[in-house]
Amino acid sequence: MSERKQIEISKEKIEEQEKYIEMLHRKNEDEFIKTGKRKSFIIQTFGCQMNEHDSEMLISMLESIGYSRALSEDTADIVIYNTCAVRENAELKVYGNLGHLKSIKRKRPDMKIVVCGCMMQQEHIVEEIKAKHQHVDLVFGTHNLYKFPELLASTFESDKILVDVWDIDGEVVEGLKSNRKFDIKAFVNIMYGCNNFCTYCIVPYTRGRERSRKPKDIISEIEDLVKGGVREVTLLGQNVNSYGKTLEEEDRISFADLLRRVNEIEGLERIRFMSSHPKDISDDVIYAMRDCKKVCEFLHLPFQVGSTSLLKKMNRHYSKEDYLNIIKKAKEEIPDLAFSTDIMIGFPGETDEDVQDTIDICEEVRFDTAFTFIYSKRQGTPAAKMEDQIPEEIKHKRFDKVLSVINRISGEKNHLYDGKIVEVLVEGASKKDSSIMTGKSRQNKTVNFTGGDESLVGRLVNVKITDPKSFSLNGQLAEVVS
């Protein structure tokens, strides 16, 4: 498809939805004139940064329609659950929340209940909602988020549950607006979907296959964000290292080249990205991180397990030695680099020796942070059919053992910052104490400091660390950088 045709398709789709936004906005304004009360919404987001960014776009649509934010689900006119299919606990929370809303819906039948996101891309989940949660008004998936205004309008024409889940990947629709959680930081999708098919993971089935955005569209979005006051962007993709592979030849660039282009954007101060897959990260990406001053010294590189045999069973396409070689190269090129990772405990066939391999990697790499989680079966994945499943009791014991190592190392790493000066992008006042300001260092450390006030929000400051904790750094303002 030609670039011009793609632009026309995106424009047509956005314009069509704007008609529904205008119609619903007029409806809400008429009701406000009659009642003096604004309609309200609340969104609960489960899962990753991709889901968070999807919710930001849904919020922008709702506010354009005329909805304000509600304080709780009990009072909201629209409740939206943007779901995650990666962890079983997230699914159970969604079902629990839907059960809670059932009695509220009886008292306020005009309230709208919407369930969207990755869970909805699984047919058995949708069937369960239709059978057990008939008080839900709307169900849609990950491929047609841009159609939300049209789908919402349709719920006012029927008292039956509306299901609109697409089985195939749609085109990348450009031009959707976001209402960001922070004014100074923003998520920017550079690609959608995943082609890796790890045996435990449902993402390729819920997010679809890889589709990269054109570099000029990414650059244009970031330039507009910077004009609006954004100082830091996080580039998002299920596997950013494979960015560009699905682009037409005239647009195709590597992820390393994209980092270099984003680094040239005037006014932007910081660049982060996630997630990286070890099988695809190249030396060129490491060199780009080293050479681009705006790219933060922070690398999230999931290894999942330390056992090469389990990695093969997971279809990860790298070994324990491969992973450690990447870390070694990155440390040599970027001495101040901080690392985070994902660690899975309890994958089918895991032994005590495999767990020790995982601990060995943690001790050698010395991660600053790690997202440690217990494997849970995902229906439709190869791992769910494996016979050598690990008993829950053993999973939890192993999880606690690994977590204690991670927490110890994290505390030791943080205490190395005692007396050091770190650059912090100020995000606001601490929720616990308004006299204390908080923000993130370039290494993604949470830094709380005294000596500042709200006028510093969005500014870069230097902070002297005086009291490092296991999960944050405390200090005093040293100077304002910019």
Omega within 30 of 0 (cis) for the link into 275: yes
Is the same domain home to 386 and 431? no
Among residues 372, 394, 414, the one where a domain terminates is: 414
Q: What's the pTM?
A: 0.83
Residue 171 lies in a domain: no
CA neighbor of 203 nearest in space, from 381, 359, 43, 42: 381
Residue 236 lies in a domain: yes
Is the same domain home to 278 and 221? yes
Residue 260 lies in a domain: yes
84 is in an annotated binding site: yes
- The span from the CA of 479 to the CA of 369, in Å, is 27
Note whether 311 and 354 are within 8 A (CB).
Answer: no
Is the same domain home to 229 and 322? yes
Is the same domain home to 120 and 51? yes
- The span from the CA of 151 to the CA of 153, in Å, is 5
- The span from the CA of 248 to the CA of 332, in Å, is 35
Range of the domain at 426: 418-478
Residue 315 lies in a domain: yes
Note whether 289 and 334 are within 8 A (CB).
Answer: yes
Note whether 230 and 183 are within 8 A (CB).
Answer: yes
201 is in an annotated binding site: yes
Residue 303 lies in a domain: yes
For residue 323, the domain's CATH number is 3.80.30.20
- The span from the CA of 466 to the CA of 110, in Å, is 54
Residue 170 lies in a domain: no
Note whether 148 and 24 are within 8 A (CB).
Answer: no
Per-residue pLDDT at 170: 59
- The span from the CA of 253 to the CA of 14, in Å, is 27
Is the same domain home to 289 and 356? yes
Is the same domain home to 381 and 425? no
194 is in an annotated binding site: yes
Among residues 378, 396, 414, the one where a domain terminates is: 414
- The span from the CA of 54 to the CA of 44, in Å, is 11
For residue 69, the domain's CATH number is 3.40.50.12160
Provide the 8-state DSSP code for 304: B
In a 13 Å sphere around the CA of 62, the CA atoms on its Cβ side amount to 25
296 is in an annotated binding site: no
Q: CA-CA-CA-CA torsion for 355, 361, 362, 368, nearest 10 degrees?
A: -140
Residue 177 lies in a domain: no
Among residues 358, 381, 414, the one where a domain terminates is: 414
48 is in an annotated binding site: yes
Q: How far is CA 115 from CA 80, 125, 398, in A?
A: 6, 11, 34
pLDDT per residue, tens digit, the chain (482 aa), is 455 555 555 778 888 899 999 999 999 999 999 999 999 999 999 988 888 989 999 999 999 999 999 999 999 999 999 999 888 788 889 999 999 999 999 999 999 999 999 999 999 999 999 999 999 999 999 889 999 999 999 999 988 999 999 876 656 667 677 776 668 999 999 999 999 999 999 888 888 889 999 999 999 999 999 999 999 999 999 999 999 999 998 899 999 999 999 999 999 999 999 999 999 999 999 999 999 999 999 999 999 999 999 999 999 999 999 999 999 999 999 999 999 999 999 999 999 999 999 999 999 999 999 999 999 999 889 999 999 999 999 999 999 999 999 999 999 999 999 999 999 999 999 988 989 999 999 999 999 999 999 999 999 999 999 999 999 999 999 999 98
Is the same domain home to 200 and 300? yes
Is the same domain home to 309 and 389? yes
Is the same domain home to 424 and 398? no
Is the same domain home to 367 and 466? no
Provide the 8-state DSSP code for 167: S
Is the same domain home to 143 and 236? no
378 Cβ contact list (under 8 Å, min separation 6): 85, 86, 88, 200, 201, 202, 384
- Give me the long-range contacts of 445-449 (CB less than 8 A, separation at least 24): 445/338, 445/368, 445/414, 445/417, 445/472, 445/473, 446/471, 446/472, 446/473, 447/422, 447/472, 447/473, 447/474, 447/475, 448/472, 448/473, 448/474, 448/475, 449/424, 449/474, 449/475, 449/476, 449/477
- The span from the CA of 412 to the CA of 400, in Å, is 18
362 is in an annotated binding site: no
Residue 178 lies in a domain: no
Per-residue pLDDT at 197: 93
Per-residue pLDDT at 241: 96
- The span from the CA of 268 to the CA of 264, in Å, is 8
Is the same domain home to 69 and 149? yes
Sheet strands side by side (includes 270-274): 185-189, 232-236, 270-274
For residue 453, the domain's CATH number is 2.40.50.140
Per-residue pLDDT at 169: 64
Q: How many domains does the chain have?
A: 3
Which H or E run includes 422?
strand 421-429
